[in-house]
């Protein structure tokens, strides 16, 4: 009887796990023009509500090899998003600025908009629907 109960539990958990697929899509981001291999590139995935205001929906970083880096955000639900990234050359976990307020480190955003001020969500946004997405960001 104990064995029968164990088998029932295993089958139930197997089918429950097998039927619970991860929700959302995958976003792969590549930056291929990094000026050197020092530090890391830090990436943040934002909604309009979090963009430049709050903690990102997802964040990750990657070391640089051959002046390139590629990362993947997984399980991203359908919606509108923007990605920001910074070449954290000194590996201190944040973007550094000149006394004048200008960035010391290279940065970029999804859609590669030209920016003469703080990054904005609208020109950087893209839509996640029912397909995985690949993006290239240029510094």
Provide the residue ranges of all domains of the chain, joining segments of one domain with +.
23-137
How confident is the model over 8-17, as pLDDT tens digits? 333 333 334 3
Question: In a 3-state reduction of DSSP, which class is residue 111?
Answer: coil
Phi, psi of 25, rounded to the nearest 5 degrees: -110, 175
DSSP tag of 92 = S
The Cα 15–Cα 109 span in angstroms is: 41
Asked whether the beta carbons of 76 and 26 are under 8 A apart, the reply is yes
85 class by beta-carbon count within 10 Å (0-12 exposed, 13-18 middle, 19+ buried): buried
| Half-sphere exposure of residue 44: CA atoms within 13 angstroms, side-chain side | 23
How confident is the model over 46-72, as pLDDT tens digits? 999 999 999 999 999 999 999 999 999
What is the enclosing helix (H) or strand (E) of 6?
A: helix 2-19
Residues 123, 109, 45, 131, Cα dihedral to 10°: 70
131: pLDDT strictly greater than 80: yes
Q: What is the pLDDT of residue 47?
A: 98
Q: 23-137 belongs to which CATH class?
A: mainly beta
The Cα 29–Cα 139 span in angstroms is: 13
The region of weakest confidence among 3-17, 75-89, 111-125 is 3-17
Question: In a 3-state reduction of DSSP, which class is residue 57?
Answer: coil
Q: Once rounded to an integer, what is the mean pLDDT over residues 58-87?
A: 98
């Amino acid at each position: 009887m104990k064995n029968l109960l164990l088998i029932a539990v295993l089958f139930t958990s197997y089918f429950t796990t097998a039927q619970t697929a991860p929700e959302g899509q995958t976003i792969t981001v590549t930056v291929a023009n990094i000026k050197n291999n020092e530090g890391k590139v830090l990436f943040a995935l934002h909604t309009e509500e979090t963009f430049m205001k709050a903690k990102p929906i997802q964040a990750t970083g990657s070391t640089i090899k051959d002046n390139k880096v590629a990362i993947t955000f997984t399980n991203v639900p359908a919606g509108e998003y923007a990605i920001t990234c910074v070449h954290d050359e000194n590996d201190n976990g944040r973007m550094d600025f000149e006394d004048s307020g200008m960035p010391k480190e290279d940065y970029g955003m999804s859609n590669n908009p030209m920016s003469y001020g703080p990054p904005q969500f609208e020109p950087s946004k893209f839509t996640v629907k029912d397909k995985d997405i690949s993006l290239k960001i240029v510094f």
